[in-house]
Each structure stands twice: as C-alpha cells, then as structure tokens.
Amino acid sequence: MRHAADPTTRERPALRTADRTRTYAELGVDVRTGAHELRATGTGTSDLVAVSLADPVDLVTAALAVDHAGATPLVCDPAWSRAQRAEVLRTVAPRTFLEVPLPRGTVGSGTDAPARAARPDDLAWAGFSSGSTGRPRAVVRTRSSWAGSFDHVTRLTGTTATDTVLVPGPLASSLSFFAVAHALATGACAYVTRTPAATATALAVSDVVHLVPQVLDTILDAVDAGAPSRLRRAVVGGASVSPGARSRAAAHGVGLLTYYGAVELSFVAVDVDGRGLRPFPGVEVDVRPLTGAHVGEVWVRSPWVASGYLAHVTGPLRRDGPWATVGDLADPPGTGPLVLRGRGDGAILTGGATVVPEDVEIVLRAVPGVRDVVVLGTPHRRFGAVVTAIVECDGLPGLRAHLERVARSALAPAQRPRRWYGTSTLPRTPSGKPARGALSETLEELETSGSDLVPLR
C-alpha cells in the first residue's frame, strides 16, 4: 500500500462505487485495521479465508486485509445461495468465512497492524472458475503471477496514476478483480459498478474500462445514445468482440485492446490494433496438433500461470513440464496471429465429424436479430450428437428460416444446427460468458424444467 503512505497520492480516491469513495489513505488504514482484526481472531499465515461481501469496497478491502495478514483471500460470488455456497466451499474448507465487513480504521487511530513483508511466491489470491462449463473450482495463484504482469498491462493499456479505471463486472470474476488490483498498483482510482445505469453514469469520469464483450456492446450503445464519456481505452477479455465494435469504439475516441486468457493461465495473447492475437509479453504459445482434427490445442509457457486448484481437485488445467493448457483450441500454427476455436471439451462429435462450436457461433452471431448464440451438442441415437443452437433474441418472425439459410450457405453440412431454441436471456457465468454447463443441463431437462427455452420458429 505504498500509495497510502505517499504524500502525493494518499488523498487521491483509490476505490469508488456509485455511493462510496475511499482515498488511498483511508483504504490503507482500513486494510491494516482489518488485518489486525483477523489476526486477533485467530487467522494465521497461510490460512485460507473466504470472502463473500456484496459491496465492492468492503470486498476489496477485506481481500487486501487478508493478504496483509499473511493469509490467502478466496473471493466468492455473493450472488450464490447459502446452499450453493456451502456446497462449493465444502471441499476447500476455508479457515475463516467473511460475510460481514471488517471494521474500518481511522487515520491516526493506532490500531494499524504492522505490515508483513510480501513475497513473490505468496499465495495472494484465490477465486472460482467454472469457465463456461461445469461446477466452480477454486484456482489459487502466487503474488508474482499477477503482480509481475502489471508493468506490461500498464504499458499496453496506457493506464496512468491519474486515471479512473471503470470495472463494470462482478469482483468474483478474476477479470474484474485483476483490473481493480492493477488500478490500485498503478495509483489510479478503481470505479466498480454493479448496474448498467451506474456504468453509463460512470463513463463521464472514467478513462479506461476492463470488461467482457457483452458489456462493451452495452456501453457503446449508451455512448451512441448520447451518454457523456471520456473513455479512451477499453480492455476486453473473454471472447471476440462483435463485428463493428472496434470501429464503433474508434468513432468515440476509444481504442480497443482485446485479449485471450483463462483464470488458470492469466494473459496469453493480446490484440492491440485489430490485426489479431499475439503472445502477451513473457508468454510462449505452442499450438499442438490433435490427431484427426483440423485444429490444435493451445499450450503456453508463462510466468503468469496459476499454481493450481485448491483441495487437489481436478480441472481443465494440465501441465507438461513448464508448459500448461486448459484445452483451448486454435488453428494450426503459422506466422500469423493466434486464431482461437473454442474449448476442446466442447467439441461436438456428430456422425464421425468433429464440430468446433465457435466456428458455428461466429457465423450465426452475425445475423441481424441475434444478440448472442451458444452451440452445443445434444444426444442423438444415430449420430451420437447433433449440433444444437440456442439463440438469444426477441423471437422475430422468420428468424429461424433466415438462420437456416445462412447456415446452408456458410457452414459445412456437419456444422449446421439440426435443433434450434430461442431465449430472451442466456444464463451467464460471473465473468459474463454464456454458461454452457447450465444450458446443457437445461436442454436435458427441457420437457420438465419449465425453462424459457422454446423451439425457435
């Protein structure tokens, strides 16, 4: 917390929401006071402390206090029900669970806990990842696996100490929590919003925003409609941006930086100018061929990879010496940019052909009237599985017929969806990506679940 002690930065805002602001000096004393409380109530070095607080200022303060006390903060999703939370936490068994804000401090109160020397190999953050499928797994990483990349992110994003960094996503998402941690390390103000209305209002005082593609579209819609904005840079993670997003942003003076990564891998590749993904600084990328497939599996050698999963659970992260993968697919290696093709465990085997869902989604997502689309495989007695499309739309008349015409003209026969469903809103993970696992379960139980998924007409 060097910015809390520096006379030139201590009175600057560090954390902000729509109704709260804490300066670096106030945040610093809150963190030290919280660490003092944790130690006094038995939290020790290397303990795991689960943090589930709805208010972003309280959550960030608590996570920093846990780290200041020498323990490891495990950031939970406060939107979980108690039953879901209990089930998720059962296997990781945290030493302490924080669902009430830690006491605040007062500058000069004398209750500050002494600083503990931070080490690069400290387990300084843990959070949950389900990716787009499966139940959440707790990923844990060292301090250096995040903090070591801060200088690269600062250079790529152009973030300065006088900026306000807008973070319109839930802090249970590693994308959002990293954005806050980077902003605080830079000396900037992290402005966390929780509703579209608050995000639109925050644009007038924000310089940089970290977000997922779906929120980018919402922000661009707001700016197109006349919302005041001083944004100059949008940092987009999680998936490809929608067609035209880069030019729409440029029309408002906003430069886009998109990146590919994973909770387990952190940053893998970045696209700074729309010309495609190139390896993030310090990262080596190897696309290894897969037998019988036209795509390969993405492996990385990187200092930014997480330590692994808590409680020795298994997950998509696999290692081969210094190399690691989460099973993402990409086009065969060449001299050009990295072209991603989705997650390997989502590939659909239909009638002897392998279909990569993202290949189909890119085509269908460009159709007018389609807000988003998820492609899955559903069981079929003869073919093993068939390609099934779930379309987020307003149920426009004739949309399915138009989608089928597009599919026939742009997709190979095996890639064309045989089943079509529509929904007004796709379920999403905390990071904003479509929740493929939840959609798979809904399709399996469609006849009895009462879901809002309906056959697309």
Query: Residue 246: its pLDDT value, please?
Result: 92
pLDDT-derived band at 434, boundaries 50, 70, 90: confident
CA angle, 177 then 180 then 181, to 5°: 85
Tens of pLDDT, residues 87-127: 888 889 999 999 999 999 876 555 565 666 789 999 999 99
Is the pLDDT reported for residue 134 higher than 60? no
Average pLDDT in the chain: 89
Measured distance CA(421)–CA(399) in Å, rounded:
11
Tokens standing for residue 396: 């426009």
What was the pLDDT predicted at 216? 92
Q: Distance (Å, rounded) from C-alpha 11 to C-alpha 396?
A: 53
- CA atoms of 65 and 29, how far apart (whole Å): 10
Q: State the first-to-last Cα distance of the chain, in angstroms, to the nearest integer.
A: 57
CA atoms within 13 A on the CB side of 219: 37
- Tell me how far apart the alpha carbons of residues 363 and 188 are, in angstroms, rounded to a whole number: 39
What's the whole-model pTM score?
0.82
Sheet containing strand 419-423, strands side by side: 372-380, 384-392, 419-423, 454-455
Three-state DSSP class for residue 147: helix
User: 178 pLDDT exceeds 70?
Assistant: yes
Torsion-angle region of 93 (φ positive above 0: left; ψ -120 to 50: alpha; else: beta): left
- pLDDT tens for 265-322 read 999 999 999 999 999 999 999 999 987 778 899 999 999 999 999 998 888 899 999 9
Whether the Cβ atoms of residue 315 and residue 264 lie closer than 8 Å to each other: yes
Q: Which domains does the chain have, with CATH numbers?
A: 1-117 (3.40.50.980), 347-455 (3.30.300.30)
Q: What confidence tens digit (pLDDT) does each residue in 324-377 have?
A: 999 888 888 777 899 887 777 677 877 666 687 888 998 999 999 999 999 998
The total of other beta-carbon atoms located within 10 Å of residue 425's CB is 9
Whether the CB-CB separation of 32 and 24 falls below 8 Å is answered with: no
